Amino acid sequence: MKGVFPLNKFAKLRTPFYYYDTELLRTTLRAINDEASKHEGFIVHYAIKANANPKILRYIREAGLGADCVSGGEVEAALKAGFSNDKIVYAGVGKSDWEINLGLDNDIFCFNVESIPELEIINELAGQKGKVARIAFRLNPNVGAHTHANITTGLAENKFGIAMRDMETVIELASQMEHVKFVGLHFHIGSQILDMGDFQALCNRINELQTQLESHHIRVEHINVGGGLGIDYQHPNRVPIPDFKAYFDTYAKKLKLRPGQTLHFELGRAVVAQCGSLITRTLYIKKGAQKQFAIVDAGFTDLIRPALYQAYHKIENISSDDVNETYDVVGPICESTDVFAKQIDLNTTHRGDYLAIRSTGAYGEIMASGYNCRQLPMGYTSDELL
């Protein structure tokens, strides 16, 4: 089964471009809110790094989600899109002074702090403004995740977070500072996780840490477990919406929240990935000695995930219902890694046919580059093409 695309509207648009099914996005957001609202104290933030298209951000803000940012530019994008400053959290291992000042000036909800030197700088900059910055410490729980090695973040070897052995030390240090207020703990173990057992392991670790802190009379207001929930890249039509019920239920059953404690989530890929497709036109069909190539006008400048992570994306010829043939789908970039897929079956493809590279709403448009002096791809929503 193929996705449904308004081909008659595409003829006027320059390819490649991103196409966003906004009805699917709205349905996904309703599913998130419906499942999260079943559990008291669950608060969802959208991880802007997945997709910062202003039109997409507007839908997400209108659904009531907060914003999770990892740069000053993302904080600016969140504010411009209308996210309330008290729903903005700011993480990242390397916050520069101007980025910290931006968060302070806009009284964001929380800085997720990843090192003692960062804590000291936030305290210093907040002091210069006569403010008190709310902070959560991002701890590295040393919990593995069943995902690609390049997108795990919760192991001791990763650059993210503060080692658990230093937890009590940094909390004590913060308590002695005049311009920061410790309000929570932050965790994130990786991305594209489909095994709920990974999230259960994180819950177990957090339960242990909370008990340890309480033995020292330290109470935590907010727990932030990051995001990480994956999607079904193999079957975007059959499984367009992730299993949010299983995800939120896992935390509700396994994490021992204290009375009045809030639990924060930072979902990115799970919110936007399935609603987006990269639309590209076929330039040439090149028949080699052992295979044939569908050469398209999109390249890894438009979608880098296959080259960077060897990521799989389902590809559909949305212009043809002819019998299947086997192709390597490749782009025009002067690099051997500019390949979207090898030896895949597509309806017989001709010059000018549109191909849809599916499940690209996350880490697609946002990671595009101008390498080879190529123009950045545009992004269009289904609402604006009606």
Q: Please tell me the distance from the alpha carbon of residue 362 to that of residue 60, in angstroms, as a whole number.
A: 14
Confirm if 295 and 75 have CB atoms less than 8 A apart: no
pLDDT digits (tens, 9 = 90+) for 9-24: 999 999 999 999 999 9
| Average pLDDT taken over every residue of the chain | 94
pLDDT at residue 148 in the model: 44
DSSP state of 277: E
Q: Please tell me the distance from the alpha carbon of residue 312 to that of residue 374, in angstroms, as a whole number.
A: 24
pLDDT at residue 156 in the model: 43
pLDDT greater than 60 at residue 169 = yes
pLDDT greater than 50 at residue 155 = no
Q: Which CATH code of 2.40.37.10, 3.30.70.520, 3.40.50.970, 3.40.50.150 fits the domain covering 7-15+274-381?
A: 2.40.37.10
* Helical segments of 37-115, H only: 54-62, 72-80, 97-105
DSSP state of 315: E
pLDDT at residue 83 in the model: 98
Q: Which CATH code of 3.30.9.30, 3.20.20.10, 3.40.190.10, 3.40.640.10 fits the domain covering 22-272?
A: 3.20.20.10
User: Do you know the residue count of the chain?
Assistant: 386
Least confident interval from 90-104, 159-173, 247-261: 159-173
**Residue listed under structure tokens 């289904």:** 382
pLDDT digits (tens, 9 = 90+) for 286-307: 998 889 999 999 999 999 999 9
- Give residue 130's identity as a one-letter amino acid code: G
Confirm if 261 and 300 have CB atoms less than 8 A apart: no
Domain ranges of the chain: 7-15+274-381, 22-272
* Helical segments of the chain, H only: 7-10, 22-36, 54-62, 72-80, 97-105, 116-129, 167-175, 196-214, 244-254, 269-272, 305-309
H/E stretch holding 295 reads strand 292-296
pLDDT digits (tens, 9 = 90+) for 90-123: 999 899 999 999 999 999 999 999 999 999 999 9
Confidence at 161, pLDDT banded by 50, 70, 90? confident
Confidence at 160, pLDDT banded by 50, 70, 90? low
The pTM for the full model equals: 0.94
pLDDT greater than 70 at residue 157 = no
Give me the residues paired with residue 316 across strands: 356
pLDDT at residue 325 in the model: 97
152 or 362, greater pLDDT: 362
Confirm if 262 and 221 have CB atoms less than 8 A apart: yes
pLDDT greater than 50 at residue 214 = yes
pLDDT at residue 151 in the model: 39
